[in-house]
């Protein structure tokens, strides 16, 4: 007890000191324990309107980047196996450039077949022509014989002395003349037949030739070509896969392409807000997640039809009751690197009215 | 002379400690019960306060609190973004769901969907993990109290897989968040992911979080948003108050705690009043003697005030110390997470101590003041 003063009273001195100490402790504890309700700035930049739009009348919308030609899902006219794929995603193609070919073996076989048919028909034509010539020769010969017989008969008939020509000679000459006539008739019939065969052969040649033309068309249809100049955006086929042109349910398009010079943006505006929109004004857009990367996009057109808003959750049971006006804006060429087809964007567009809104009142 | 008063007070140890105990007990009762009451109803606002960036919350006109809400169509976000003075606005989803744990247990959870691009809407601090984990597929961040509830056996929640609405969810982070009033497990995830976790209705977006541009007050912005969009807009403070008011209106908590606080006050008055008047009556002879030697009534009033002051100081100090010890002792308990002593409450209990001592002191002084110096001889 040497440390303590002798007349230390617990209740008079120690307790008040303890009490004051407790109060100080409590003040510290309470001050330290107050909850942290400070507001802070977000770590990542959210999309915000800048410049004149920051405090002016504006309409906001979300949009999606698309090619200026819109998306072209290239199909195939013929079903078959993919034998050759000439493009890859990201490649720029010219109009008419081949994209892929489907299996042409059956068509080529048919082409060979028609070629053979042409050859065969040509051979038949030659043969028919030969027999026509033959028949013509036979006719000529028969005519000659007929004339000879007729002259001989006339000669015999002109002789007055019946004893000068034997009766049998006359009969023979008459017979010769008749047989020559028959031979001529026969040859004439054969000539007609040969003519018919020539016509037939010609017809067969024509038919085979037109078939050859068909197969040539088929062959060219088997090679699918770019409908416009543009960029290949997606290739969902590989050589060896079977493509059906019957439209197989919800399968992915074979090749997706579009003109990406320039890119367009399709912005959805709530129909309630559509009336406030300043048509024709450029929009300020930024890609999702990169809000500080804002560019000015120029007005292209407004879609004439107001459509149900397509949600981006992609669930099959999605139902909508919001309708949106779609407005198309063109991105400047230098912003091509920051935007990709299919990317979501946030857009701010000037509005026509002042601060007081036109809806919800 | 005042020292004599103090010696007089502490001379009778039983009564002195009785007085101190009475004050300390009622201080403890009032302070501790008020603290728990305030913290409990502030749980109604914790969802608002755990979102550190929002200036204004925008919701459907019928929504009332962070948990009692009605979803809006997705284009409401664009409407809010179109209001002049809104610096930025992001979607925010709060909805209930059921989760199946790997043990097969079912647990009600609230799903919080934060903006995909900016992750605005997450609590300020994570205990484990980084907010970038949300960019991994099927990621969720669980709140720390919820993690304790969901994994009672002490298993590590990180990497645990849950089943939500037939979807896979992997816990990849633990957030430092104050639990809500219902103490439901809270899972934070991206907005687009949350849409998959919450059984689908047509409209899903429950809130839009908006921030005011420079030079515009939150109240002004809220009224502008209400005017232009027809939606309900509340500032952060208003919306926090809405959550608190909802609990006050819909539960019996204020009545119960009010009764306890009143009891604390009554007990304090009863014990202290009884002991103090007994003490004064026992010492009536001494006061009489003091009066006899010419001490004025004013001097005696001062003496009694000093006595009351000492009792009050010690009792109040010990009572506050006990409250602090209580809150500190339970701070590790998840049910008491985030409990704090608002600075107003010790002042309220201090005022209560003043009232108790003033009342009892005045009552007992009346007899002293009327005492004749002759009382010393009786």
Which of A39, A317, A360 comes nearest B228 by C-beta? A360
Query: What tens digit of pLDDT does each residue of B156-166 get?
Result: 888 888 888 88
d(CA A113, CA A208): 9
Q: Is the pLDDT assigned to residue B51 strictly greater than 90?
A: no
Our CA angle for A107, A108, A110, nearest 5°, is: 65
Q: Search chain A and give the residue with CA nearest B35.
A: A30
Q: Are strands A323-330 and A344-350 parallel, antiparallel or unpaired?
A: unpaired
pLDDT of residue B244: 92
What number of C-beta contacts closer than 8 Å exist between A and B? 187
Rounded mean pLDDT, A106-133: 90
Contact A206, A129 (CB under 8 A): no
Q: Search chain B and give the residue with CA nearest A16.
A: B314
Query: What tens digit of pLDDT does each residue of B4-26 get?
Result: 888 878 878 888 888 888 889 88
Q: Inspect the interface and report whether the beta carbons of A351 and B85 lie closer than 8 Å.
A: no
Specify the range with the lowest mean pLDDT, choosing from A115-129, A138-152, A276-290, B283-297. Answer: B283-297
More confident residue, A152 or B103: A152
Contact B40, B315 (CB under 8 A): no
Rounded mean pLDDT, A101-127: 90
pLDDT of residue A1: 43
Q: Inspect the interface and report whether the beta carbons of A30 and B7 lie closer than 8 Å.
A: no
CB contacts, 8 Å: A17 with chain B? none
Rounded mean pLDDT, B84-96: 89
Contact B218, B94 (CB under 8 A): no
**Could you tell me which of B203, B198, B202, B233 has the C-alpha nearest to residue B219?**
B233
Listed in sequence order, the residues at least 6 apart from B147 whose beta carbon sits closer than 8 Å to its beta carbon are B157, B171, B174, B185
pLDDT of residue B260: 86
pLDDT of residue A261: 85
Our CA angle for B84, B85, B86, nearest 5°, is: 95
pLDDT of residue A76: 85
Which of A288, A313, A319 comes nearest B117 by C-beta? A288
Find residues 288-317 of chain B whose CB sits inside 8 Å of chain A.
310, 313-317
Q: Is the pLDDT assigned to residue A122 strictly greater than 60?
A: yes
Query: What tens digit of pLDDT does each residue of B103-130 get?
Result: 777 888 999 999 888 888 898 888 888 8
Q: Is the pLDDT assigned to residue A97 strictly greater than 80?
A: yes
Cα-Cα-Cα-Cα torsion B32, B37, B42, B43, nearest 10 degrees, comes to: 100
Query: What tens digit of pLDDT does each residue of B228-246 get?
Result: 889 999 999 999 999 999 9
pLDDT of residue A327: 92
pLDDT of residue A7: 67
Query: What tens digit of pLDDT does each residue of A302-311 get?
Result: 988 888 776 5
Cα-Cα-Cα-Cα torsion B238, B239, B243, B244, nearest 10 degrees, comes to: -20
Q: Inspect the interface and report whether the beta carbons of B75 and A15 lie closer than 8 Å.
A: no
Listed in sequence order, the residues at least 6 apart from A358 whose beta carbon sits closer than 8 Å to its beta carbon are A275, A276
CB contacts, 8 Å: B317 with chain A? 18-23, 26
In this structure, the number of other CB atoms found within 10 A of the CB of residue B220 comes to 14
pLDDT tier for residue A313 given thresholds of 50, 70 and 90: very low
In this structure, the number of other CB atoms found within 10 A of the CB of residue A298 comes to 13
Query: What tens digit of pLDDT does each residue of A3-24 get?
Result: 555 566 777 778 888 888 888 9
pLDDT of residue A229: 93
Q: Are strands B139-143 and B167-175 parallel, antiparallel or unpaired?
A: parallel
Which of A9, A60, A321 comes nearest B10 by C-beta? A9
Transcribe B207-262 into DSSP letters.
Answer: EEEEEEPTT--HHHHHHHHHHHH-SEEEEHHHHHHHHHHHHHHHSSHHHHHHHHHH
pLDDT of residue A37: 79
Tell me what percent of chain B is helix, strand and coil, each rounded to the nearest 5. 55, 20, 30
Tell me the three state secondary structure of residue A243. strand
pLDDT of residue B101: 75
pLDDT tier for residue B195 given thresholds of 50, 70 and 90: confident
d(CA A28, CA B324): 10
Q: Is the pLDDT assigned to residue B346 strictly greater than 50?
A: yes
pLDDT tier for residue B222 given thresholds of 50, 70 and 90: very high
Contact B173, B187 (CB under 8 A): no
**Tokens read off for B117:** 């691009």
Q: Are strands A230-235 and A255-258 parallel, antiparallel or unpaired?
A: antiparallel
d(CA B175, CA B121): 12
Query: What tens digit of pLDDT does each residue of A157-204 get?
Result: 888 887 777 888 888 888 888 888 898 899 899 899 989 989 999 998
pLDDT of residue B234: 93
Q: ipTM score of the complex?
A: 0.79
Report the mean per-residue pLDDT for chain A.
84
Contact B24, B318 (CB under 8 A): yes
Q: To 10 degrees, what angle do helices B13-42 and B344-370 make?
A: 150
Per-residue CA distances from B94 to A199, B29, B68, B72 (Å):
86, 37, 9, 12
Residue A39: is it exposed, middle or buried by C-beta count within 10 angstroms (0-12/13-18/19+)?
middle
Q: Which residue in the block uniquely carries the two structure tokens 């969802």?
A: B47
CB contacts, 8 Å: B119 with chain A? 42-44
Give the distance, in angstroms, between the CA of residue A36 and the centroid of all CA atoms in the same chain.
59
Q: Is the pLDDT assigned to residue A87 strictly greater than 90?
A: yes
**Could you tell me which of A244, A327, A318, A361 has the C-alpha nearest to residue A63?**
A327
d(CA A131, CA A196): 11
Q: Inspect the interface and report whether the beta carbons of B318 and A311 lie closer than 8 Å.
A: no
Question: What ranges in chain A are assigned the alpha helix state H?
Answer: 15-33, 105-158, 167-222, 271-274
Contact A260, A230 (CB under 8 A): yes
d(CA A10, CA B16): 12
Q: Is the pLDDT assigned to residue A56 strictly greater than 90?
A: no
Query: What tens digit of pLDDT does each residue of B63-81 get?
Result: 998 888 898 888 888 889 8
pLDDT of residue B226: 93
Listed in sequence order, the residues at least 6 apart from A306 whose beta carbon sits closer than 8 Å to its beta carbon are A271, A274, A323, A324, A325
């Amino acid at each position: 007890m040497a440390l303590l003063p002798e007349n230390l009273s617990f209740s008079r001195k120690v307790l008040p000191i303890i009490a004051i100490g407790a109060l100080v402790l409590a003040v510290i504890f309470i001050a330290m324990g107050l909850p942290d309700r400070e507001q802070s700035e977000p770590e990542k930049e959210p999309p915000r309107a800048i410049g004149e739009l920051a405090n002016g009348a504006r309409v906001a919308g979300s949009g999606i980047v698309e090619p200026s030609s819109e998306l072209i899902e290239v199909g195939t006219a013929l079903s078959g196996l993919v034998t050759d794929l000439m493009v890859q995603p990201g490649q720029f193609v010219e109009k008419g450039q081949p994209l892929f070919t489907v299996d042409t073996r059956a068509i080529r076989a048919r082409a060979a077949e028609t070629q053979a048919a042409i050859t065969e028909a040509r051979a038949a034509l030659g043969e028919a022509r030969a027999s026509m010539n033959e028949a013509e020769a036979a006719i000529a010969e028969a005519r000659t014989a007929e004339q000879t017989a007729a002259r001989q008969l006339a000669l015999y008939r002109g002789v007055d002395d019946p004893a000068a020509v034997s009766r049998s000679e006359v009969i023979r000459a008459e017979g010769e003349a008749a047989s020559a006539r028959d031979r001529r008739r026969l040859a004439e019939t054969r000539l007609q037949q040969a003519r018919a065969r020539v016509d037939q052969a010609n017809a067969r040649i024509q038919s085979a030739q037109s078939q050859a033309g068909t197969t040539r068309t088929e062959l060219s249809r088997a090679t699918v070509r770019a409908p416009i100049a543009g960029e290949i955006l997606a290739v969902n086929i590989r050589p060896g896969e079977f493509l059906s042109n019957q439209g197989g349910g919800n399968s992915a398009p074979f090749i997706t392409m579009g003109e990406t010079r320039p890119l367009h943006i399709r912005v959805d505006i709530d129909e309630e807000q559509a009336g406030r929109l300043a048509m024709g004004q450029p929009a300020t857009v930024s890609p999702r997640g990169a809000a500080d990367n804002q560019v000015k996009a120029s007005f292209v057109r407004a879609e004439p039809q107001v459509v149900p808003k397509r949600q981006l959750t992609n669930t099959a049971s999605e139902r909508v009751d919001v309708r949106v006006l779609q407005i198309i804006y063109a991105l400047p060429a230098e912003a091509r690197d920051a935007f990709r087809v299919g990317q979501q964007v946030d857009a701010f567009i000037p509005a026509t009215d002042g601060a007081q809104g036109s809806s919800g009142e | 002379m005042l020292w004599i008063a103090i010696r007089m007070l502490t001379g009778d140890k039983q009564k002195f400690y009785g007085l101190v105990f009475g004050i300390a007990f009622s201080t403890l009762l009032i302070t501790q019960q008020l603290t728990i009451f305030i913290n409990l109803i502030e749980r109604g606002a914790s969802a608002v306060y755990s979102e550190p960036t929002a200036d204004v919350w925008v919701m459907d006109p019928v929504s009332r609190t962070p948990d009692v809400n009605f979803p809006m169509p997705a284009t409401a976000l664009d409407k809010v973004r179109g209001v002049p003075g809104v610096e930025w606005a992001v979607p925010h989803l709060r909805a209930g769901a059921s989760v199946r744990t790997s043990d097969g247990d079912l647990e009600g959870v609230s799903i919080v969907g934060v903006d995909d691009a900016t992750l605005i809407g997450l609590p300020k601090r994570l205990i484990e993990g980084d907010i970038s984990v949300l960019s991994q597929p099927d990621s969720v961040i669980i709140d720390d109290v919820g993690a304790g509830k969901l994994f009672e056996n002490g298993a590590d929640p990180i990497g645990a897989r849950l089943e939500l609405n037939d979807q896979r969810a992997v816990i990849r982070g633990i957030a430092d968040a104050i639990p809500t009033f219902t103490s439901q497990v809270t899972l934070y995830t991206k907005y687009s992911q949350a849409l998959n976790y919450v059984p689908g209705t047509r409209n899903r977006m429950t809130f839009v979080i908006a921030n005011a541009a420079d030079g515009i007050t939150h109240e002004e912005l809220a009224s502008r948003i209400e005017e232009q969009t027809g939606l309900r807009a509340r500032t952060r403070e208003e919306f926090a108050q809405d959550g608190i008011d909802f609990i006050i209106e819909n539960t019996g908590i204020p009545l119960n705690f009010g009764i306890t606080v009143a009891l604390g006050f009554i007990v304090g008055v009863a014990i202290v009043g009884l002991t103090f008047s007994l003490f004064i009556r026992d010492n009536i002879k001494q006061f009489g003697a003091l009066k006899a030697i010419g001490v004025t009534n004013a001097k005696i009033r001062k003496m009694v005030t000093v006595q009351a002051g000492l009792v009050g100081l010690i009792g109040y100090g010990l009572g506050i110390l006990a409250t602090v010890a209580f809150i500190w002792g339970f701070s590790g308990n998840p049910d008491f997470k985030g409990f704090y002593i608002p600075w107003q409450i010790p002042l309220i209990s201090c005022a209560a101590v003043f009232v108790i001592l003033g009342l009892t002191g005045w009552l007992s002084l009346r007899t002293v003041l009327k005492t004749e110096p002759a009382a010393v001889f009786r």
